[in-house]
A and B are shown apart, each in its own frame.
Chain A
């Protein structure tokens, strides 16, 4: 049987391998989330010329006027995620004691694979990304944050004319 360690090694290798977003040159088609508050778009990630099922997931919040979204990599469960939100996120006690994370992060934060790989239980189980650090990069537009995320996860940078963008804000009637 593939052990948990084998799978973590496979994800490590996946994260270390250069990846490319496919479909960035056509407008996103947003799928519904579980409810009206969220929309989802998934872009296939190409690795070594092949589409092996990994995806970049963008979650948008069309009812929010402020800039709010999530970016993550599905492999096929979420293995890392940047939450550009105003949410509050407490971290695990041992990560705080080890100095890896502050006790509580409020606002945009990043659940990196490196911080959360120890919580990984297998690719078909929803992973609990318990630990996050504040997102402190100066970029504060969707495009700038997407580029930062791509850079951190070894996704090839997008060309200037790419069409990945959030849907326009809607209002509740």
Chain B
């Protein structure tokens, strides 16, 4: 039993040592690969520079590099996240986390502090950032309608509501039998929701049987049930992912 345990101990010690190596790099730095993991499982590395008496340990931008490699757009987070690392006496500047100058004997501590802070910052970025869509769904909707209905689509068309107020709609498609289909995209923001619901309600109040109304929302956003219900007060709401088939069905 003891022999087997010793073998296992050997495997553990050797494996962890191999994974978390400590090396000299460029002839000037010590690079320690730690056991802390970034969100994508890469091990956090800390670089130590200095002399006989004092050192500075840094993640060399590793936390933000992890975010960049996930597609999170680069911007300045120094003020937003500086406080998170400051609690441990660390500094975040220009996207790099580092210690103040510390005694050389404190190098192991410096490595542990920087590694854990780097991991924490990377996790925060993963948890608190959203990757912006490269294309606006409203533009995609408009493009689809242009392809499908060609010159029968009018953009920014004006429709007069029951109140006599003119409302602008992003897309109005002329269908057969003089019917008109209003396809109104809405963003997941209170001002957009309110504006589109009011405009659709006012047009709906005209009770014109030749006007068909649909509000299109981007179903990849997190919509609350209440907001979706509110959209339906204005007009029938349809998710963007189903918009193609629904619009084709209405137009048939």
Chain A residues within CB distance 8 Å of chain B: 1-2, 6-7, 31-38, 40, 52-55, 57, 59, 65, 70, 72, 74, 76-78, 81, 83, 87-92, 104, 106, 111, 122-132
The answer for the CA separation of A33 and B241 in the assembled complex, in Å, is: 33
Q: Choose one: B41, B43, B131; the contact of A123 (CB below 8 Å).
A: B131
The answer for the CA separation of A34 and B61 in the assembled complex, in Å, is: 8
Q: Are B131 and A36 in contact (CB under 8 A)?
A: no
Closest to B63 in A: A34
Contacts of B19 in A (CB 8 A): 88, 90, 104, 106
The answer for the CA separation of A55 and B95 in the assembled complex, in Å, is: 24
Given A76-B131, A87-B33, output 4 extra A-B contacts at Cβ < 8 Å. A34-B67, A76-B134, A89-B43, A126-B39
Known: A104-B19, A126-B126, A130-B41. A38 touches B70 (CB 8 A): no
Contacts of A123 in B (CB 8 A): 131, 133, 220
The answer for the CA separation of A123 and B219 in the assembled complex, in Å, is: 12
Can you list 6 A-B pairs with a CB-CB distance of less than 8 A?
A34-B95, A36-B61, A65-B26, A78-B70, A90-B19, A123-B220
Contacts of A57 in B (CB 8 A): 71
Known: A34-B95, A87-B42, A87-B45. A6 touches B241 (CB 8 A): yes
Q: Choose one: A1, A35, A55, A127; the contact of B70 (CB below 8 Å).
A: A127
Q: Are A59 and B69 in contact (CB under 8 A)?
A: yes
Q: Are A91 and B132 in contact (CB under 8 A)?
A: no
Task: Give the shortest distance, in Å, between B30 (CB) and chain A (any CB).
Answer: 15
Contacts of B126 in A (CB 8 A): 126, 128
Interface residues on B, range: 35 or more
Known: A55-B134, A76-B131. A38 touches B43 (CB 8 A): no
Q: Are B61 and A81 in contact (CB under 8 A)?
A: no
Known: A90-B37, A126-B129. A40 touches B241 (CB 8 A): no
Contacts of A92 in B (CB 8 A): 41
Known: A53-B133, A126-B125. A1 touches B239 (CB 8 A): yes
Q: Are A34 and B64 in contact (CB under 8 A)?
A: yes
Contacts of A87 in B (CB 8 A): 33, 42-43, 45
Which 10 residue pairs of A and B lie closest in terms of their CB atoms, listed nearest first?
A53-B134, A35-B95, A34-B64, A35-B61, A34-B95, A126-B70, A78-B71, A2-B241, A37-B61, A77-B71
Q: Choose one: A38, A74, A104; the contact of B61 (CB below 8 Å).
A: A38
Task: Give the shortest distance, in Å, between B232 (CB) and chain A (any CB).
Answer: 15
